[in-house]
Amino acid sequence: MKILAYSVMILLLVPLQTTLLPHVSIWGLTPDFGLAVSALIGLFAGELEGLVVGLAIGWILNMYSAGDLWVSLVTKGGVGLLGGLLGQHVAHVTPTVVSVGLLIFSAVGGVMAVLTMKSAFGADVWAMVQSMVLPQACLDAVVGAGLFYVANQQLASDRALMSDRL
Amino acid sequence: MWMATLRAPYNARRVALGGFALLLLVLFLFPSQSQGVLQYFDGPIGQVIRIPLEVVASIDQGISGVWHSYVALQGVQTENEQLRQDIEWLKGQNNQLREAAAATERLTALLHFKEQALPTLLAAQVIGRDATSWYRSVILNKGESDGIKSDMGVITAAGVVGRVVKTNSATSVVLLVTDPNNAIAGLIQRTRDEGIVEGTQQGLARLKYIPMLSSVRSGDHVVTSGLVGGFPRGLALGTISRIDKEEGALFQSAELMPEVDVSRLEEVLVIQAPYGMSVHTDGKNIPSGKP
């Protein structure tokens, strides 16, 4: 059942990321839902599940991108794994914690993506970091925190419902 | 706020960390082999994902069609009048060009030049944009099963769109001419100087490596040179808007305004064979034009 749910989620993530989100891009940047979803799955379901689903998301989304496969696999899988570790080791996970984590991870992933580009040389890299990587990291952090807040509210109401039934 | 729970057993953490370390090792030691293994599964997965992708794309195009056809019609009358004037001017130009073409045809026959065969084209629909913000690319609804392969050129009636960089059985990814990672051999139509056209961070294009002695100027048209890549000679790339000439440099460069508005692409043509070659299933192109 869980595998089916994850499969449907990945299936829906592709049209969301490639067809719908470009309409709401800010300065040509679209939030990376794949990154945010991988981190949240790691956070709520543990590091192994986060890693596996993150790798699946990275692989499938890369089929619809001109980027290198390994960058996508490492960033999405890595963020799932780190999300799981964060869930295990941080006592109070808040939207702020999630947004800071995603900000750092998205920035690192962005720098990796920029460094693998053919066009990146010296000054260009710094210009791309300023104009693309940092705004993208901020956007991912905001989206991730928002998704975490919604998921957390849903989880809290489910728990309340369950305790009422018991 | 949500409290951390220690649900995952210690073994799961070790498996996850070990798995990730192994993945990194495999990706760095055997990059092409590991990607090749995953690309083997791209075909069936791509066919499954094609269904929701095309459904969402058709709904999206339906909504934008309604918007552009009925709602966003402000200023259409003025535009219509301007276009009518343009048509009149173009009719005159067309007559002159027909005369020139007829003269060229006569001279070609006289000089026994080889006739250039028309390229083999395949129409495709744009169903999405790059899944990341790092690259400027579009996704087409046709892939390997339709005969599309990497490095094929993609055009519209207006000019060059880009180049196919990735394919699976159902879809393909086209890197746009405005992407800084793209490079297409270009030719200044008036001066016949060659250069390389690359995209810029600002979403325009740049013609690099123009000889210093070239008399290039703003307003010159740049077309494909046909020497490298999947494009025949003479397809419109853009119009030069600014020349950058640095003291002591070996070459000059020029900023180009691309002919195709890549932000509004809906249908494109994929060049399967630039000089009218028949595409065979084994991947080898065999000339079908005149010898």
Question: What local confidence, expressed as pLDDT, does residue A119 receive?
Answer: 66
My answer on whether B127 and B271 are in the same domain is yes
Q: Domain containing A126 — which CATH number?
A: 1.10.1760
My answer on whether B146 and B267 are in the same domain is yes
Question: How many domains, chain B?
Answer: 3
My answer on whether B32 and B144 are in the same domain is no
- Closest by CA to B160, choosing from B266, B269, B241, is B269
Residue B254 lies in a domain: yes
My answer on whether B125 and B215 are in the same domain is yes
DSSP 3-state assignment of A39?
helix
My answer on whether B63 and B151 are in the same domain is no
My answer on whether B238 and B254 are in the same domain is yes
For the stretch A78-93, pLDDT in tens is: 899 888 888 888 778 8
List the single residue in A17, A23, A47 with the smallest CB-CB distance to B13.
A47
DSSP 3-state assignment of B130?
coil
My answer on whether B39 and B152 are in the same domain is no
My answer on whether B128 and B246 are in the same domain is yes
For the stretch A23-78, pLDDT in tens is: 888 888 889 999 999 999 988 888 888 888 998 999 899 889 988 888 888 899 88
Q: Domain containing B259 — which CATH number?
A: 2.40.10.340
| Interacting residues of A82 by C-beta distance below 8 A, sequence separation 6+ | A39, A42, A47, A50, A101, A105
Q: Does B250 touch chain A (CB under 8 A)?
A: no
Residue B286 lies in a domain: no
My answer on whether B182 and B259 are in the same domain is yes
Q: Which two tokens stand for residue A51?
A: 């890693």
For a pLDDT cut of 90, what percent of chain A falls above it?
14
Q: Give the Å distances, CA to CA, from B279 to B119, B200, B286.
A: 11, 33, 7
Record: contact A74-B139, CB cut-off 8 A: no
My answer on whether B60 and B133 are in the same domain is no
Question: How many domains, chain A?
Answer: 1
B chain contacts of residue A38, beta-carbon cutoff 8 Å:
none
Q: Point out the domain boundary residue: B47, B69, B91.
A: B69
Question: What local confidence, expressed as pLDDT, does residue A37 receive?
Answer: 92
Q: What angle do CA A83, A85, A91 make, to 5 degrees?
A: 95
The residue of B48, B134, B175, B263 whose CB has the most chain A CBs within 10 angstroms, and thus the best one to mutate to test that interface, is: B134
Task: Give the residues across from B222 on adjacent strands.
Answer: B188, B238
Record: contact B173-A66, CB cut-off 8 A: yes
The residue of A65, A71, A153 whose CB has the most chain B CBs within 10 angstroms, and thus the best one to mutate to test that interface, is: A65
Q: Which domain, by its residues, includes A152?
A: 2-23+31-165
Taking phi over 0 as left and psi of -120 to 50 as alpha, with beta for the rest, A88 belongs to alpha
- Closest by CA to B23, choosing from A11, A69, A3, is A69
- Closest by CA to B155, choosing from B92, B77, B237, B82, is B237
Question: What local confidence, expressed as pLDDT, does residue A166 receive?
Answer: 65
My answer on whether B264 and B199 are in the same domain is yes
My answer on whether B84 and B161 are in the same domain is no
Tens place of pLDDT per residue across chain B (291 aa): 555 444 555 677 777 778 878 887 887 777 777 777 777 777 788 888 888 888 888 888 888 777 777 776 777 888 888 899 889 888 888 888 888 888 888 887 777 666 666 678 889 999 889 988 888 999 999 988 888 988 899 998 888 999 999 898 889 999 999 998 888 999 998 888 989 999 888 888 999 999 888 888 888 999 998 887 788 888 889 999 998 888 778 889 999 999 888 888 888 999 987 765 544 444 444 444 333
Q: Which domain, by its residues, includes B87?
A: 78-115
Q: Smallest CA–CA separation between A97 and chain B, in Å? A: 11
Q: Which two tokens stand for residue A95?
A: 């939207």
pTM for the full predicted model: 0.80
